[in-house]
Amino acid sequence: MNVRLPLNIEDEDIDLSDIGLPLSTPTAMSYTLCRVRLAEVSRHIADATADQLFQGKEMSYDMVVALDGKLRESLDDLPEFYRFSLAAQQKFTTLFSERPVFASQRSMLQLGYHFRLCRLHRKHFVRGAKDPRYSYSHVVCLQSARTVLEIKRIMDEDTPIMTPSSSLIWAVMHHVFVAAVILLIDVCFNWEDVLAVKRKEEVIAACRMLTNAHRSSVVARRAVDAMMDVLRKHWIHIRGRKCPNAHAQAQSQSMRPAAASQQSLGIATPDSMWYVTPSDRQGSAQPLEADVPLGDLWKEMLDGSAHSALDTPDWTELLNDLTNANFPAEL
């Protein structure tokens, strides 16, 4: 099969030239071409690991490191206007001002790469907290998780320039939640660390970000609730006892208000599916249900981290389930 990629050219110039511009020149096709590159390296990772997965074998750590190199090579090849750096921000200030879509595209591309780095290393993240042989995975997961949270903060600051709001995009909320849980797990494995207080502050800040998104719209609420269910299930299992208020929260989620059952409009994008409901479009015109205390579970996990039966497979399974979580099909 031979597939020709689109030319890197503006739409209005399609009939004027059959030669594309270099990828370093921003055009209406830049994002699509960069997304294709990310898809290609993702396909390479899937092909390289398929045999081990189908046979139930663990991928060698050398292969993990090699695939990490492939991802980073592709990330480093992104054009400068899709990078987060002070030099790029200053150089392309006019571009981002005149065509703010490039700022949104930059965020989505960076999120895609850093989430995949977390996903590649997740199996060795917990091991790397104690075993020097896998320390690289521990460092990579933490760095990429912090990058994901920082990108979300930047996207929130760019609202309302960014349309739709980043909290309405399932991929964004999913990546942010997984990043927050990675920081949470790190606290549980390093509760005696000299930086334990700072680590907890990071988790609290991430939880606050999720809470703000949770309050912002029905869509964000559905996304966060779905992943909270996964987190709650694993925490109950890991602690060996029932989480406070879990039954009450489950009942609350099953008795959603009528406003939350309005028909949604699905809009497909290259990296995600986002859903815009009438209440989301109208802002505060439609009151949302009372806030679910997200912080209660997170606080319990932080407070109980020193006494938890921290079994590596349990936490790895949690990351697997969160990574594979899907947007809830119904309200």
Q: Which of 24-33, 164-173, 268-277 has the lowest mean pLDDT?
A: 268-277
Instruction: Give the pLDDT mean for 10-26.
Output: 86
Rounded to whole angstroms, how far apart are CA atoms 248 and 169?
28
pLDDT greater than 60 at residue 187? yes
pTM comes to 0.78
The rounded percent of the chain whose pLDDT value lies above 70 is 73
221 Cβ contact list (under 8 Å, min separation 6): 214, 215, 260, 288, 289
Confidence label for 265 from pLDDT (cuts 50, 70 and 90): very low
Judged by average pLDDT, the poorest of 81-95, 140-154, 290-304 is 290-304
In a domain, 178, yes or no: yes
The confidence band for 26, taking pLDDT boundaries of 50, 70 and 90, is very high
Q: Please give the share of the chain, as a percent, with pLDDT higher than 90.
A: 35
DSSP state of 274: E
- Sign of the torsion formed by the C-alpha atoms of 264, 267, 268 and 271: negative
Residue 283 lies in a domain: no
- Looking at the domain assignment, is residue 33 inside a domain? yes
On the question of pLDDT at 289 being above 50, the answer is no
Residue 113 is assigned to a structural domain of this protein: yes
For residue 303, pLDDT beyond 80? no
Closest by alpha carbon to 37, among 95, 100, 90, 79? Answer: 79
Residue 73: what pLDDT?
96
- 279 vs 313, more confident: 313
pLDDT computed for residue 247 by the predictor: 44
Paired with 274 in beta bridges are: 169, 267
Average pLDDT over residues 76-92: 92
| Counted domains in the chain | 1
Residue 271 inside a domain? The answer is: no
Spatial CA neighbour of 183 closest among 173, 191, 172, 192:
191
- Rounded Cα distance between 183 and 143, Å, is 10
Q: What is the pLDDT of residues 42-64, one digit of tens each?
A: 999 999 998 888 888 888 999 99
Q: How confident is the model at residue 234 (pLDDT cuts 50, 70, 90)?
A: confident
What are the residues whose beta carbons fall under 8 Å from the beta carbon of 19, sequence distance 6 or more?
A: 7
Burial 176-193 (b: 16+ CB within 10 A, else e): bbbbbbbbbbbbbbbbee
Inform me whether the pLDDT recorded for 305 exceeds 80: no
Q: Could you give the CA distance from residue 282 to residue 288 in angstroms, rounded to a whole number?
A: 12
pLDDT digits (tens, 9 = 90+) for 157-178: 865 555 667 777 888 888 999 9
Q: Please, what is the average pLDDT of the chain?
A: 77
Is 282 part of any domain? no
Q: In terms of pLDDT, which residue wins out, 275 or 203?
A: 203
Q: Is the pLDDT of residue 188 over 70?
A: yes
Residue 4 lies in a domain: no
Is residue 69, in this structure, part of any structural domain at all?
yes
More confident of the two residues 310 and 141: 141
Residues 6+ apart with CB under 8 A from 150: none
Domain that holds residue 170: 29-255+289-323
Q: Please state the rounded mean pLDDT for residues 229-249.
A: 63
Average pLDDT (190-217) is: 81
For residues 86 and 64, the model is more confident at: 64
Band (235; pLDDT cuts 50, 70, 90): confident
Q: Is the pLDDT confidence value at 268 over 80?
A: no
pLDDT for 262 equals 29
Token readout for 325 is 């979580």
Q: How far is CA 169 from CA 240, 266, 288, 327, in A?
A: 34, 11, 18, 10
